[in-house]
Amino acid sequence: MIETKSRAHGTPTKDFFVRMITRDITLADCIMDLVDNAVDGARRSAKLEGRKKNTDFLRGFSVTIRATGSQITVNDNCGGISLDDAVNYAFHFGRRKDAPRDVDTSIGLYGIGMKRAIFKMGRQAKVESVTKAEKYTVVVNVDEWERKLEDWDFDIDDKVDSDSIGTRITISQLYETVSAAFSDQTFVNNLIRTMARDYAFILKSGFEIKIHTENSLIVVPRYDYKLKKNSDFMPGLVAYVDENVNIRIICGIASDLPNEIPEELRQEKAEYSGWYVICNDRVVVAGDKTDLTVWGNGDFVGWHPQYNGFAGFLFMNSEDDASRLPWKTTKREVDTSELRYQRAIINMKNLTRQFIDYTNERKGDPESAKRKEAQAASISIVELKSESITMRLPSVVAKPSFREKMVQVSFSKPLAKIKKAAEALGDFSLSASAVGSKAFDYFYKIEVEDDQK
């Protein structure tokens, strides 16, 4: 018989935080967690300054990520963390219920990002903060902290090297794999591209992100999401409030659609097509082509390369409680069981159907459809201010009687022979498909047309 005093232990271990939850997140997303904290700081400071929420709302606020082989520093000018917040909330594992909600549309919500980022990258860190009123340093020595089994707190020191208002997180004793990643320029370029994509709507408010490595200092570019708009094309827009969450769904044609699918299967053209989910202006899901959004979700059609060029955006904003949004702790996925999100998916499907109908119709006269698409100007989606816009797409009338029926020819030949044929055709830089096409034209002219004369 079990004694009534017996209890099953539920105490967490430090190892779980240092070595387990760090596996759930990529290095790039850890860096972005630290940037998220800076963005929240900038929003808090901008609100305190009484700034209006326009395109310049965050102008002047910035974060610089500096990586060397031995340490990573994330330095912002976004107001710093107050000593009270540091003592009571910022280093707590998990967000406390009584934590102040002093940031509108916050993107830091679980109380895990900064600690997880430190544990993921190195064994030593210091978090220096300078506010208008105080300055201090929190020292994180992971080895020492792990040794003290019962004590979960971190030491606070009043020594700070800087007087500039803001927060500076320095992570040292980096893991070798982390150090190697930041000397891989391809990784850094990918991080810059990902940040440009995922912070596009925050950067548009004037916020700045800089990445400084041994080789370069790059300001993350401001990516502008655009959709086609003219007399033929108009993006669709649905906006509503669902249980205190502001929802805007926008979709349309982002770039010219493909005529010949195989040509358009190249990754770089397909990458930006699909659905985006944006929580409090932070892109969480980008270019999705899976049932995480609409594609193959329930009885909805799965993604097909003929949809390349389509882009849809689900914005979910919560002014006062970011936990109402469906993002997961890594901010790289959404919780599909969240009810507001499920309801939004229904609206996204309805808008997407109109686009799918158009891609089927345009097969009737793809040349005229392509001409119209090429002529259409584009509008930045942040300029679409209305509450509701009906999607407009050109009507395409099939013209089978006027149009020669085409068939696609595909074959494989040795590359060396194709290169020789390209030279014989007078242009060594011709693509393989161009060589095939020109060779057919040549044959047809000599062997077919001339015989018919």
- Residue 200 touches other proteins, criterion: CB under 8 A: no
Identify which range of 164-172, 293-301, 399-407, 434-442 contacts other proteins by CB under 8 A. Answer: 434-442
CA angle 194, 196, 199 (to 5 degrees): 95
Question: Closest separation between CB of residue 55 and other proteins, Å?
Answer: 23
The alpha carbons of the chain give a radius of gyration, in whole angstroms, of 27
Contact flags string 233-272 toward other proteins, x per CB under 8 A: ---------------------------------x-x----
Nearer to other proteins, 89 or 187 (CB): 187
Of the candidates 30, 322, 334, 430, which one interacts with other proteins according to CB under 8 A? Answer: 430
- Residue 450 touches other proteins, criterion: CB under 8 A: no
Nearer to other proteins, 162 or 190 (CB): 190
Of the candidates 59, 95, 193, 212, which one interacts with other proteins according to CB under 8 A? Answer: 193
Of the candidates 183, 230, 306, 350, which one interacts with other proteins according to CB under 8 A? Answer: 183
Total length of the chain: 453
Of the candidates 26, 28, 68, 240, which one interacts with other proteins according to CB under 8 A? Answer: 68
Question: Closest separation between CB of residue 382 and other proteins, Å?
Answer: 21
Of the candidates 185, 323, 390, 395, which one interacts with other proteins according to CB under 8 A? Answer: 185
Determine phi and psi for 441, rounding to 5 degrees: -60, -40
Question: Closest separation between CB of residue 298 and other proteins, Å?
Answer: 34
Question: Closest separation between CB of residue 269 and other proteins, Å?
Answer: 10
Question: Closest separation between CB of residue 92 and other proteins, Å?
Answer: 32
- Residue 408 touches other proteins, criterion: CB under 8 A: no
- Residue 415 touches other proteins, criterion: CB under 8 A: yes
CA distance 316 to 53: 17
Q: Are 240 and 279 within 8 A, CB to CB?
A: no
CA distance 115 to 118: 5
Question: Closest separation between CB of residue 212 and other proteins, Å?
Answer: 12
Q: Are 165 and 182 within 8 A, CB to CB?
A: no
Q: Under rule CB under 8 A, how many of the chain's residues touch other proteins?
A: 38
- Residue 367 touches other proteins, criterion: CB under 8 A: no
b/e string for 90-101 if b means 16 or more Cβ within 10 A? bbbbebeeeeee
**H-helix or E-strand containing 331?**
none
Nearer to other proteins, 268 or 383 (CB): 268
**Which contacts of 52-60 are long-range, i.e. CB under 8 A and separated by 24 or more positions?**
53/205, 55/204, 55/205, 55/206, 56/205, 56/206, 57/205, 57/206, 58/202, 58/205, 58/206, 58/207, 59/205, 59/206, 59/207, 60/206
Of the candidates 14, 51, 60, 69, which one interacts with other proteins according to CB under 8 A? Answer: 69
Strand, helix or coil for residue 227 = strand
CA distance 19 to 254: 42
- Residue 190 touches other proteins, criterion: CB under 8 A: yes
CA angle 95, 100, 102 (to 5 degrees): 120
Nearer to other proteins, 342 or 431 (CB): 431
Q: Using CA atoms of 332, 215, 61, 178 in order, give the dihedral in degrees to the nearest 10.
A: 40
Site for other proteins in 136-155 (CB under 8 A): none
Strand, helix or coil for residue 52 = coil
Identify which range of 64-72, 289-297, 299-307, 404-412 contacts other proteins by CB under 8 A. Answer: 64-72
- Pick the closest to residue 312 from 349, 276, 342 (CA basis): 276
- Residue 380 touches other proteins, criterion: CB under 8 A: no
- Residues near other proteins, by CB under 8 A: 68-70, 176-177, 180-181, 183-187, 189-190, 192-193, 213-216, 218, 266, 268, 414-417, 419-420, 427-431, 433-434, 437-438
